[in-house]
Amino acid sequence: MEVIIRPDADAAAELVARLIVKELSANPHLVLGLATGRTMESVFSKLVRIHRETKLDFSLCSTFNLDEYVGLAPDDPRSYRHYMNERLFRQVNVDPRNTHLPNGQASDLDAECRNYEAAIAKFGGIDLQLLGIGQAGHIGFNEPLSALRSRTRVKALTPTTIKQNAPFFGSEDRVPRRAMTMGVGTILDARRCLLLATGSEKAYIIAKAVEGPITAMISATALQLHPRCTVVVDDAAAGQLQGAEYYRWIFENEPEWSEFRAAGA
C-alpha cells in the first residue's frame, strides 16, 4: 500500500483524476471500477473538465460501479445509476452500453449479483478500482463483518451508513436498508486499487484502514493485502496517521511521483 498526502481535498481529487487519466491514456480499453458518494463528486467533475479540455477519450473504456441500492429504479434521482449518468457518463464519450451497475430492481437479486460477477469476468476483470471509504470503514457497501473473500451480494446497511447517506434521501428512515455491492474479494481482484478520502471526519478510519490490523470489522483494512493499492488523502484525513512524515517523503522524493507533484498545487 502507498499513501499520498495532499494539502487539501481539491488537490487530493486532482491527483486521483490525473492517475485515472494516466491509466486511461495508456490503455484506452481500460476497465474502470467506479465509486459514488460525496468524495467522488469532485473527481468526476475534474474528469469531465479534462475530457473537455484535452479530448480525453472514454469511447473504448468500460465501467463497473461498486454498488447500488436495492429497490431504486435507474432513473430514481437517488439511485447510483442516476448519480453516475449525471456526473460522468452523460458528460463524457463513454458508450452507455459499456457502463455497468447492479440493477437495484432485479426480481432475483442473487442472480443479479452472480451475473454482475460474470460480466466483470467477461470484460477481463477490473484494471483500476476507484474507492471511497465510509466512516465505519466500508469499501463499497461491505459493512462490518463482510468476509474478506466475499463476492457481489446483497448487504444490509449499518446504522452508521444509513446516517452517513441520509442527506441524499432527506431523512434516515427513507434510506434503503439494503444494497448490492461488489464483495471485498471482488475488489481485491482488481489489478489496481485507488482509494480517496478527504476531511477530518475520515481521519480516524483512515488510520485504522492503513495502519491498523486487518479485520473483517473494517473492510478497508483488506486493501493491505492488495499488491497495488494507492490511498490518496488530504491533510485533514491524514491527521491520525503515525507514518505521515514517511509517506510525505515518498511522494516528494520518489521518481514515480514526480509528474504528479504539481497536481492541484
- Give contact residues for ligand F6R (rule: CB under 6 A): 35-39, 66-67, 132-134, 138-140
Asked if 59 contacts 95 with a C-beta cutoff of 8 angstroms, the reply is yes
C-alpha cell at 249: 517523503
Q: Which residue carries 477530518 as its cell?
A: 200
Residue among 36 and 146 whose Cβ is closer to ligand F6R: 36
Residue among 38 and 149 whose Cβ is closer to ligand F6R: 38
Residue among 39 and 150 whose Cβ is closer to ligand F6R: 39
Question: What value, to the nearest 5°, has the Cα angle with vertex 81 and ends 217 and 10?
Answer: 70
> Which residue is closest to ligand F6R by CB?
132
Pairing between strand 229-234 and 128-131?
unpaired
Pairing between strand 62-65 and 99-100?
parallel
Residue among 166 and 214 whose Cβ is closer to ligand F6R: 166
φ, ψ for residue 61 (rounded to 5)?
Answer: -85, 160
At its nearest, how many Å lie between ligand F6R and the CB of residue 140? 5
Residue among 132 and 264 whose Cβ is closer to ligand F6R: 132
How far from 251 is each of 14, 153, 208, 242, CA to CA, in Å?
15, 37, 21, 16
Angstrom distance (rounded) from CA 73 to CA 234: 34
Residue among 35 and 175 whose Cβ is closer to ligand F6R: 35
At its nearest, how many Å lie between ligand F6R and the CB of residue 137? 10
The alpha-helical segments, DSSP class H, found in 212-254 are: 244-253
How far from 164 is each of 11, 81, 258, CA to CA, in Å?
24, 19, 36
At its nearest, how many Å lie between ligand F6R and the CB of residue 232? 13
At its nearest, how many Å lie between ligand F6R and the CB of residue 187? 10
Angstrom distance (rounded) from CA 190 to CA 90: 25
